[in-house]
Chains A and B, each alone.
Chain A
């Protein structure tokens, strides 16, 4: 019987989305079960809080400055080394199902191989593996886009193409329209049948592939669900799962506008500019949507939609695991579950994501269930780890030496191992330019229960701003300690550690070739 690695990712999912992390709304028994029998990480951070840089980190095991994908729209160079390539070269079967996003999605002239594969329906790049994957079938956040799911839907369920919320408007900006019951942005009641929604489609494609390879083959399968990333348009048949009117507001959403705004004003200036709709710094949120207009009911409805999407993911994952258990491969399969970055989902008065290094976007679910036949003891690791550590972990599982070009190291399987590895810090960075002229640059270190962010000079920062959060005293990150004189030496120490720990910036930045 072969060994297997099932790498499961969601997109834009919060830490508290899962029951095992304290989530009390969505029922996620499958992932909770993996956590109970494996290792649950309480402080896992991405190295960038948007899709393309973060996914490039997962695939390469490198910090952003080393793989070069410094913002959405920058394609990962075709010759970048990948963990999938290492496994493929070592004889492992390799497949990816769902969202890849190693190359830009907005690509009307089909400049990128992934989009050409999606349009043509081909599952490899001209008979060769693409970035180490011998088989890829892509899905995006709806029916549009150059991906296999869109083609499948067009062929099999064309009448439902228009049921999905169009993530981009006719001006190709992120769609600012509202919907659902509350008028929340990017919400829609979707008439598509649950079994034809992309979550189940992704699981179906992975199951087909897993059943097509030999039972004795070693395999690496990236099961990459596009949800719960906006648009929030799960099948309407599932809305009964979480009636939005019954939801309490999330703890991170101060209901009083004056409280929200006081907390926002304690942060760096671009927070308030975005809240008021006076500055668009990036493409990751609808430019015509003004966060100050967000209502409590809209927060409830968006949260309900995300919870429903999370339940569907959990059930789809359960089907995949069930197939592996049924054919005898379950005991030899390591399962790693995480996401690429988080989502505000109402925290601080915002939705979506952007250049904001707080737990909403940075604290991620991460669970590793080692193959049961390895008899690794269940554990909870509180020390900071990063998505940069995933690729080295896959090497460790496969018995492949971690190559020098990877920046991370294998995830610890216990607090003891974390101590041996001297796990102290995790780093996250953001750089963006917007054709409207806005530039934002920030870097963050998380260490000793503190989150410290420094801003480099940009459109609305002069380089002196920062944020310092004490996670124990202020888990909602409302009280910025950056200018607290009593924390000054600590702050300086953290900034020094941050600057000293980040890799050097490359001499030349890779070209930005699309907004997303």
Chain B
């Protein structure tokens, strides 16, 4: 098995109980609530379909939901073609609350900088959702969402 290095890594400490944070992360259908630029996330039979704000899609296979280790892993399988992708979100107890580490491995590397910046925003979004109940912004493409475009503050 080929070992892949982590290409992108961001972390945040959220002033909340680790189990509370983990409950949000582990619910794969809630990702669009805290990941800016995602309009919806739907899980069917272990496959998550994300509609992004530009009207595109990400198809992801959910690999791991480990409640014991508080570790969530997934892989982008389409329609963008990546030779390898693995995303990993780990929630740990830490001084000051919960430490959330978001890592990605990918090949080829074209998306490295895009994902690095995006998961930084996403962790901020996760904090805002957990702490204040604020749903992340979504700038949905009109074609992507029946009924029109959600407001900047959420659908």
Contacts and interface: CB of A to CB of B under 8 A. Distances in A.
Interface string A388-403: 0000000000000000
A384 B111 CA distance: 38
A108 B112 contact: no
Contacts of B37: 108-111
Interface size class of A (residues with CB under 8 A): 20 to 34
Given A109-B118, A111-B37, A436-B109, A170 B54 contact: no
A283 B37 CA distance: 24
Contacts of B149: 120
B1 interface: no
Given A172-B80, A513-B117, A107 B110 contact: no
Given A171-B82, A172-B80, A108 B56 contact: yes
Contact of A108 (B52, B81, B121, B143): B52
A2 to B, nearest CB: 35
B141 A119 contact: yes
Contacts of A154: 143
A115 B54 contact: yes
Interface in A497-516: 511-515
B121 A109 contact: yes
A194 to B, nearest CB: 27
A109 B117 CA distance: 10
Contacts of B81: 169-171
Interface in B26-60: 35-38, 52-56
Interface residues of B, number: 31
B149 to A, nearest CB: 7
A441 interface: no
B145 to A, nearest CB: 12
Nearest to B119: A109
Given A119-B55, A283-B110, A111 B117 contact: yes
Contacts of B114: 104, 106-109, 513-515
A42 interface: no
A476 B114 CA distance: 38
A288 to B, nearest CB: 10
Interface in A92-113: 104, 106-111
B7 A171 contact: no
A110 B112 contact: no
Interface in B76-109: 79-83, 108-109
A106 B36 CA distance: 15
A10 B112 CA distance: 29
A435 interface: yes
B108 A171 contact: yes
Nearest to A287: B108
B139 A120 contact: yes
Interface in A146-181: 146, 154, 169-173
A298 B55 CA distance: 35
A110 B113 contact: no
A116 B112 CA distance: 21
Given A108-B37, A109-B38, A111-B37, A435 B113 contact: yes
A119 B110 contact: no
A154 B141 CA distance: 12
Interface string A269-287: 0000000000000010001
9 contacts: A108-B37, A108-B118, A111-B118, A116-B139, A120-B142, A171-B80, A171-B108, A171-B110, A435-B112
A-B pairs with lowest CB-CB distance, top 10: A109-B37, A435-B109, A110-B53, A513-B117, A170-B81, A435-B112, A172-B110, A110-B139, A171-B81, A173-B110
Given A110-B139, A514-B117, 12 more contacts: A73-B113, A107-B54, A108-B114, A111-B36, A154-B143, A172-B110, A172-B111, A435-B112, A511-B117, A513-B116, A514-B114, A515-B113
Interface of A: 73, 104, 106-111, 115-116, 119-120, 146, 154, 169-173, 283, 287, 434-436, 511-515
